[in-house]
Structure 1
Amino acid sequence: MTETVVVTGIGVVAPNGLGTEEFWTATQKGLSGIDRISRYDPSGYPTRLAGEVQDFYGEEHLANRLLPQTDRMTQMALVASDWALADAAVDPGALPEFDMGVVTASASGGFEFAQNELQKLWSKGPEYVSAYQSFAWFYAVNTGQISIRHGMRGPSGVLVTDQAGGLDALGHARRHVRKGTGLVISGGVDASLSPWGLVSQLTTGLLSPTADPERAYAPFDDSADGWVPGEGGAILVLESESGARERGARSYGSIAGYGATFDPKPGSGREPGLRRAIEIALADAEVSPSDIDVVFADAAGVRDLDRVEAEALSAVFGPNGVPVTAPKTMTGRLYSGAASLDTATALLAMRDGIVPPTLRVRDQAADCPIDLIRDTAREMTVRHALVVARGHGGFNAAMVLRAPTAN
């Protein structure tokens, strides 16, 4: 019998809340963390808004020796992993080091650290570049630093699939637990809002130029003109259900199903792969579309991409066939952190029986026939939730979460 994998700990660093409960309180109320970029003057850029994590200072949480060798992204990931382990009531020092693993996702690596060191190279010379540049920028650095911090020497890895990465990492982590690893820390955290990071994102042409934070990033709306970038994400602790029960741990819910696909070549005339990813996840979870209580949407905020997602959901569930929400409208799209944060949010919705809203959708597009939860949260029982994510370039991922069974 295949082992059920459960989530026993959650750590969140988000633009609208530091820590899981602060984030969850703000998200239920529909409080947005999107505003004008504050860490530098964005007036020279076509996109001037972002979901910045406010009041996060690495020195308040981490040893001084770690600060010179870590990017802001990694500092957030380390803190989120600390919080997730504490939430799960896990002491890594008391567990076998080869029985713990780390699988994270990354979309860009440590961009802010890299920009600072490149500026030193150009302005002062190579002797001024930090030796830590060799790894602080790297996609796998969060996995490495978390594993070193907690002495985790079991199966580990990193997934680089842009916005889909948060689900892909969790799916990979579930595989490790099913193969016998006792505990795996997983999820995604990104932080690429430095000027260099922002310009790199602008090359996609998919960021919203709207300057009003009350109007920018309105997925499934007739006026949708792109998304707002953000930073942060969520780190989760995954264990086998039997192992968690044996140590008396609380379960937020289980990863019941997971599917991933890649879109066909543009112009091929073939259907995008999102629908297939959803169907794979449902089949893996052994549930039917009618069992899904709510969908946490990818919500690109780009008209064509929104239409494709709405078509996939309508094909699986029927038009307006299932409640849909996009709480990332309060944070911006967090790249590798987006889907792991949606997963955490879905688990909290299961726990408390309340689904947070989608903001800023005034005129829902006619070609997006979905039951969108808008403006205010909806109280409802959630037994199964579907999280959907897509990455730039054709990545698709879907995950079915199941509420814990009553003891």
Structure 2
Amino acid sequence: MVVTGLGVVSPNGLGTQGHWSASRVGKSAIGPLTRFDATPYPAKLAGEISGFAAEEHLPSRLMPQTDQVTRLSLVAADWALADAGVNPAELPAFDMGVITASSAGGFEFSQNELKSLWSKGGEYVSAYQSFAWFYAVNTGQISIRNGMKGPSGVVVTDQAGGLDAVAQARRQIRKGTSLVVAGAVDALLCSWGWVGLGTSGRLSTEEEPSRAYLPFDDRAAGHVPGEGGALLILESADSAHARGAEVYGEIAGYAATFDGREPGLRKAVELALADAGLAASDVDVVFADGAAEPELDRIEAEALVEVFGERGVPVTAPKTMTGRLYAGGAALDLATAFLAMEEGLIPPTVHTEPAERYGLDLVVSQPRAADVRTALVLARGHGGFNSAMVVRS
């Protein structure tokens, strides 16, 4: 299965090239929250998307029925299809599917409707609330907009979701579906969503952006949330070659486990490498989950050292430039991995001073030129979800 199109909506750059231009030089988008007044809350920083005007990309009829997350998803899908050179109207409807991941659905839409319910009454609640909040709403709206009637669905595995959605798409393509739009976009930057995120106890309360999100650093004290993600166009290699499509690379291996303790993540890595038919020495870079919570960082670092050896492979966590995007984060890492392969450049983990005790060759401060042909992308969801995906050029 190959990737023929990328659609990126990221805090540090809209569009694939906007995101890569920023990421390749270490440009961070983490800063003070502006979407609402965060003064009363312990955490005050986020990776916000700026410069996005949905009405410039979508018809006006969609505005009253969609949340920010769905608008971002629809535009990311449009960009991914255009990048792949695909016109859905020219393809059989039942040969195309949509599989996305979500952590929360349309949270801000729901918040606004709840305000109307309690301040004005039930007759002021939008009928669109019945689906605008739903985890599967992005899949539904993308499929309707593009006439895609093949195997579709949604995956809810928190921050592992972006990889799990792509893996589910891979299964459907192996069963005969020609094309699947897959990946994830998340957006929870509203006051209700902020309260929910804060219950994890894992948000950084640092108010200086350059000290807020520091995975594998002795100063690590939580992560910074962000919004955005990526959608990918996945096709069988035969289908892509038949239409002369440009190919970013291949989804070569995948595995998932459910165990938040030490063996779980390592086992997922080993199984993904086995699925790809590769040895650890074949991997050129690891895109780490990078939780920036000491115990979780320890578990991830030990898993990588056990598989690759101490400082055995370059490791990066470019999400330090965007914040953790929940379901969207792993999908964005996946897109970034393909862009890194294309240029031969590993984007940096910004602001971090890696602790020697972790034993990682962490790419920090500046990008690193490298012959990147195979990458391992890791993601973990709250409660024990572990996912590992191997991609190659």
Same fold (TM over 0.5): yes
Please give the TM-score of this superposition, normalised by the length of structure 1: 0.96
The AA in structure 2 aligned to 1:163 is Q
Provide the C-alpha distance between the structure 2 equivalents of 1:298 and 1:221, rounded to a whole number of angstroms: 14
Q: Which runs of 5+ in 1 are unaligned?
A: 265-269
Q: 2:26: which partner in 1? A: 30
User: Could you tell me which of 144, 147, 151 is aligned with 2:147?
Assistant: 151
Secondary structure, counterpart of 1:385 in structure 2: strand
- 2:243 counterpart residue number: 247
Do residues 375 (structure 1) and 371 (structure 2) align?
no
How many angstroms apart in 1 are the aligned matches of 2:366 and 2:374? Answer: 21
Aligned position for 1:385: 375
Counterparts of 1:39 and 1:272, CA distance in 2: 39
Which residue pairs with 1:137 in the alignment? 133
Equivalence for 2:313: 322
Quote the Cα distance in structure 1 between the aligned partners of 2:107 and 2:356: 39
CA–CA distance in structure 2, aligned partners of residues 280 and 148 of structure 1: 36
Deviation digits for residues 372-398 of structure 1 (CA, Å, limit 9, x no counterpart): 000100000111100000000100000
1:278-317 alignment to 2 at 5 Å? 278-317=269-308
Deviations 1:75-117 (A, max 9, x none): 0000000000000000000000000000000001110000000
Structure 2 partner of 1:359: 350
Return the offset for 1:43.
1.0
- Determine the C-alpha separation between the residues in 2 that align with 1:62 and 1:374: 38
Deviation at 1:400, TM superposition (A): 0.3
Counterpart secondary structure, 1:13: strand
Structure 1 equivalent of residue 222 of structure 2: 226
State the SS of the aligned residue for 2:24. helix
Which residue is equivalent to 2:14?
18
Do the aligned partners of 1:307 and 1:367 also contact (CA within 8 Å) in 2?
no
User: RMSD of aligned C-alpha atoms?
Assistant: 0.8
Out of 342, 347, 360, the position equivalent to 2:333 is 342
Q: Which amino acid aligns with 2:251?
A: I
1:400 maps onto 2:366 in alignment: no
Which blocks of at least 5 consecutive residues in structure 2 are unaligned?
none
The whole-number CA distance in structure 2 between the counterparts of 1:200 and 1:229 is 12
Share of identical aligned residues, percent? 64
Query: Which of 264, 279, 284 pairs up with 1:273?
Result: 264
Match of 2:70 among 69, 74, 84: 74
Is 1:51–1:332's contact at 8 Å kept on the other side of the alignment? yes
Q: Secondary structure at the match of 1:309?
A: helix
Deviation string for 1:197-252 (max 9, x for gaps)?
A: 01100000000000000110000000000000000000000001111001000000
CA distance in 1, matches of 2:32, 2:262: 37
Number of residue equivalences:
393
Give the secondary-structure state (helix, strand or coil) at the position aligned to 1:214: helix
1:234 aligned counterpart, secondary structure? strand
**Could you tell me how far apart the structure 2 residues matched to 1:367 and 1:198 are?**
33
Residue 366 of structure 1 and its aligned partner are, at CA, apart by: 3.4
TM-score, normalised with respect to structure 2 = 0.99
